[in-house]
Amino acid sequence: MSALQPMWRCVQPLRTALGCVRNGKPLKINTNMELFTNMRCYSTQVTVPTKYNFEKLYTENYYGLRRLPVPPLSDTLARYLRSVQPLVSPEDFKVIQADAADFEAGQGPFLNAKLLAEDSHEGYPYSYIQKHWDDMYMGLRCPHPINISPFFKIVDDPDPSKTHLRRAAEFARGFALWSRKVLNGTLEPDVDPKGTPQCSTSFKLMISSNKTPYKGRDVIEQHPESRSITVVSKGNLFSVEVISEDGKIISVDALETRLKEIEAELPADVSICALSGEDRDVWASARASLLASSPQNSKSMSAVDAGIICVCLDDVEPADMSALGQSILTGPARSRWYDKQQLLAFPSKSGGGKLAMLFEHSYSDGLGWARFIHEIMCNTLGQQKKLPANVSQLPLLPEASGLLSMQKLHFD
């Protein structure tokens, strides 16, 4: 099956690009498999509990959903061929068709039976895809930019006077509030048009998470107790408190002030930020050396890792949409931290607060981030009526008066 494996290597980066086109027109590519990768199963008619335990959200089947079924081998191959055909020449497609037919007549049934046997159990992996997905993403040693991290370009705010810093403050504060819904067990599940819940397990891993590099394999680590966000700007790293020790949320004005202070800092002479976009084993070795060389480095790295989300402030306005897409995908590396979920903010003369979400695809999916973005936009624009009927507003935490603490993080 020599032709099948190279095609996966081609399709993967294409999915994260700005779009796939043929003769100037967007291609329609079948991505049904991708939609299920972070789901334990598919929906069925169940009773939705009013609350869940955050610590068990990933392991408990709260909605009584059925396990995602393994599709027939013939269906999988047909779906694969439909997805590949728009991306290759007719000559190459004939070769791939022949390889698929050989696979179906040869090794395919044996491997399919093995997959069915792997899936005949309870507990992790929660679907036939999950362990293979995790092994692939956690084990890949290629750099994250383009290969791992896709993005959303968030629609500009209708108010042209709104700056990127103001809007970043709104969204970062909103994410801190939204994360409280996830943490306190009240985040409502997404539902289909009939009101049937969809799997919510991936929401747990979106909060205060870090993909930590180790030799040979990365590990997802979480810090649900975190009350701060990580901010990156011109090679500088900061930890900004957004929830006070007594449970009060920072105001948008105060957080915007903090972001202005950070943006005003001079570029760092030396920065470790670009290392997070390196080959994962290279980054693992460098990180281990940093941690071993200084207690200060360990303290600063822990603060970076623990951020509820990472806000990245760019200092150059992209010339056009293509340049914006390139910047979102590939950097500047000094203003990115690829181990975390990243909210990117771009200066813009036209206003509207240009933002993008560059997310870690190993353990989160576009469906979850679309949910977050939709809720935050409805709340910041005062359009809560556009939220689904089953979705409540963001938690109403008391607001802190004035600024909360901020720390510039240093590495020896």
CB neighbourhood size of 48 (10 A): 15
CB atoms within 10 A of CB 46: 15
Tokens 């290392």 found at: 275
Dist CA 12 CA 179 (whole Å): 30
Map residue 66 onto helix, strand or coil.
strand
Rg of the chain in Å (alpha carbons)? 22
Query: Which pLDDT value is given to residue 36?
Result: 29
Per-residue pLDDT reduced to its tens digit, 319-346:
999 999 999 999 899 999 999 999 999 9
pTM here?
A: 0.84
- Sorted by sequence, the CB contacts under 8 Å of residue 330 that are 6+ apart come out as 145, 146
Q: Is the pLDDT of residue 14 over 50?
A: no
Q: Residue 361: helix, strand or coil by DSSP?
A: coil
188 pLDDT higher than 50: yes
141-176 pLDDT per residue, tens = 999 999 999 999 999 999 999 999 999 999 999 999
Query: Residues with Cβ < 8 Å from 107, sequence gap 6 or more?
Result: 1
| pLDDT tens digits for range 280-321 | 999 999 999 999 999 999 999 999 999 999 999 999 999 999
- DSSP secondary structure letters along 147-164: TTB-EEEEPPPS-TT--H
Over the stretch 353-407, which tens digit does the pLDDT of each residue have? 999 999 999 988 888 999 999 999 898 888 888 888 888 888 889 999 999 999 9
pLDDT at site 192: 86
Give yes or no for a contact between 346 and 317, defined as CB atoms under 8 angstroms apart.
yes
Q: Are 343 and 168 in contact (CB under 8 A)?
A: yes
For residue 377, what are its two tokens?
């936009």
Per-residue pLDDT, 57:
92
Average pLDDT of the chain to the nearest whole number: 87
Top mean-pLDDT range of 5-14, 100-109, 124-133: 100-109
* pLDDT tens sequence across 20-51: 333 333 333 333 322 223 333 444 445 566 78
The length of the chain is 412
pLDDT at 381: 86
Res 240: pLDDT:
98
How much is the pLDDT for 7?
28
Predicted local confidence at residue 189, as pLDDT: 92
Amino acid occupying residue 296: Q
